[in-house]
Amino acid sequence: MIIKFKEKDCWNCGGTGKYNYWSPCPNYGKSMRKGCPVCKATRKAEHKYSQDYELTPCKMCKGTGKLMETACSYVPGAVLAAIPVAVYRDYHETTWNEAYLGAGFAVSVLNYSDGKNLTDDQVIKMARNHLTHVQYCNIGTEVEGGIELCDHLGIFTGTLGFNVRKVMSNEEVKLLKEYCYD
């Protein structure tokens, strides 16, 4: 399943297309022993930024107020909530990292020591609570104009806590099981 990127209000200007770019004193970087005629600075690092700025076209959206989402945009909560999850217990962290170096985590929760005493449901609830700011690249693979959604999000528990990571396919699930002690 592919989630298409949508056009959203530009995060930089809030959709207005205008943004306050404060401009530095035109003498910025120059030594001014007698004091800068513009901003009164006497040392080159002390020139000030203009306080009476003008609203100028936003550089992020080129004044349109709109930006297309990208793989780095945050996934809306409703989409996150709809992605299935699975718990992988006692996951053999080091070996997996060697095999999948650079695989991104959607979320990483460390330093809870009672993981072994938690049920799957409790671990899932805890993971869901932490899944708030997740980028598209962490829930799938980027394709033209969108993201191919992962099969599910795997919650990998270990002695230190858990990581949540996308699992793309059944083959990957099989491979994962080999890396779990279960």
Which spans of this chain sit near Zn ion (rule: CB under 5 A)? Answer: 10, 12-13, 25, 27, 36, 38-39, 41, 47, 58, 60-61
Nearer to Zn ion, 20 or 129 (CB): 20
Which CB, 43 or 177, lies closer to Zn ion?
Answer: 43
Distance CA 166, CA 100 (A): 12
Q: How far is the CB of 52 from Zn ion (least distance, A)?
A: 14
Exposed / middle / buried, residue 37 (Cβ in 10 Å: 0-12, 13-18, 19+) = exposed
Q: In angstroms, how far is CA 93 from the centroid of its own chain?
A: 22
Quick one: how far is CA 124 from the chain centroid?
A: 21
CB of 179 to Zn ion, least distance (A): 44
What are 38's two structure tokens? 């513009």
50: amino acid identity, one letter: S
Question: At its nearest, how many Å lie between Zn ion and the CB of residue 42?
Answer: 9
Q: Which is nearer to Zn ion, 13 or 87 (CB)?
A: 13
